[in-house]
């Protein structure tokens, strides 16, 4: 094992990371026990590998704030939070929610062509990072033990096919994730007194 992958965040991405840290706290996924923040850490590394934009990286970090209806409703009532998010990043978060929630794992997908992608390339990069990371976690923690294991395996296969990620690319990226990911934040900028 070569050691953890390091991801360095610029100031806007660091700000987004601090927001999601506060939102998640120390919560973990119910079934696997994996810290929820690990999904964001690994997503940042995947977005680096995909050469995604800084706005896509910040939006990926914040997408959990808006994805579930209850979280969207909560955030809609938080004007300070919304003002702190750059408009383009907020746009990407909401478009991600729109596209991702159209084709959820509990629904039935006919084939890759039935998955609607975003007209925004940055959102599709976010979807790539999300589905790559989720498939890795599914295979590591749930394959063969989850009641919907076969359906979930098909779901991830269809999404990755639609997003143009073949099996060889997935395996290479998964191997990188297995090394671990360390996120380095930029210190908040403070005006001199």
85-144 per-position pLDDT tens digit: 999 999 999 999 999 998 765 567 788 988 999 999 999 999 999 999 989 988 987 666
Q: What secondary structure does DSSP assign to 65-126, as a single string?
A: HHHSHHHHHHHHT-HHHHHHS-HHHHHHHHHHHHHHTTS-TTS---SGGGSPPPSSHHHHHH
CATH class of 5-184: mainly alpha
pLDDT band at residue 52, thresholds of 50, 70 and 90?
very high
| Distance of alpha carbon 47 from alpha carbon 53, whole angstroms | 8
Question: What are the tokens at 114?
Answer: 């039935």
| pLDDT value of residue 135 | 93
pLDDT at position 150:
82
Q: What are phi and psi of 50, to 5 degrees?
A: -85, 0
The predicted pLDDT at position 146 comes to 61
Q: Which sequence spans correspond to the domains of the chain?
A: 5-184
Cβ contacts of 44 within 8 Å, gap of 6 or more: 7, 9, 13, 57, 60, 61, 181, 183
Q: What is the pLDDT of residue 12?
A: 80
pTM exceeds 0.75 for this model: yes
Question: Cβ of 133: how many Cβ atoms within 10 Å?
Answer: 24
Handedness of CA 134, 175, 184, 128 (dihedral sign): negative
Which of 26-30, 164-168, 188-192 has the highest mean predicted lDDT (pLDDT)? 164-168
Determine the average pLDDT of the residues in 67-74: 94
Instruction: Supply the angle between the helices 121-141 and 36-49 in degrees, to the nearest 10.
Output: 130
Q: 2-6, 35-39, 70-74, 78-82: which has the minimum mean pLDDT?
A: 2-6
What pLDDT was estimated at residue 90? 96
């Amino acid at each position: 094992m070569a050691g953890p992958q390091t991801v360095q965040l610029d100031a806007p991405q660091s700000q987004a990371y601090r927001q999601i840290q506060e939102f998640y706290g120390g919560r973990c996924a119910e079934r696997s026990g994996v810290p929820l923040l690990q999904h964001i850490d690994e997503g940042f590394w995947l977005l680096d590998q995909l050469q995604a934009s800084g706005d896509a990286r910040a939006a990926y970090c914040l997408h959990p704030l808006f994805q579930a209806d209850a979280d969207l409703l909560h955030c809609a009532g938080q004007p300070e939070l919304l003002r702190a998010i750059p408009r383009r990043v907020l746009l990407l978060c909401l478009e991600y929610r729109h596209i991702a929630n159209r084709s959820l794992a509990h629904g039935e997908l006919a084939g890759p062509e039935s998955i609607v992608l975003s007209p925004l390339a940055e959102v599709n990069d976010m979807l790539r990072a999300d589905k790559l990371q989720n498939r890795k976690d599914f295979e590591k923690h749930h394959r063969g033990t989850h009641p919907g294991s076969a359906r979930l395996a098909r779901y991830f296969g269809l999404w990755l096919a639609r997003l143009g990620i073949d099996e060889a690319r997935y395996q290479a990226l998964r191997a990188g994730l297995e090394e671990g990911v360390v996120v380095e934040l930029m210190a908040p900028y403070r005006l001199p007194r």
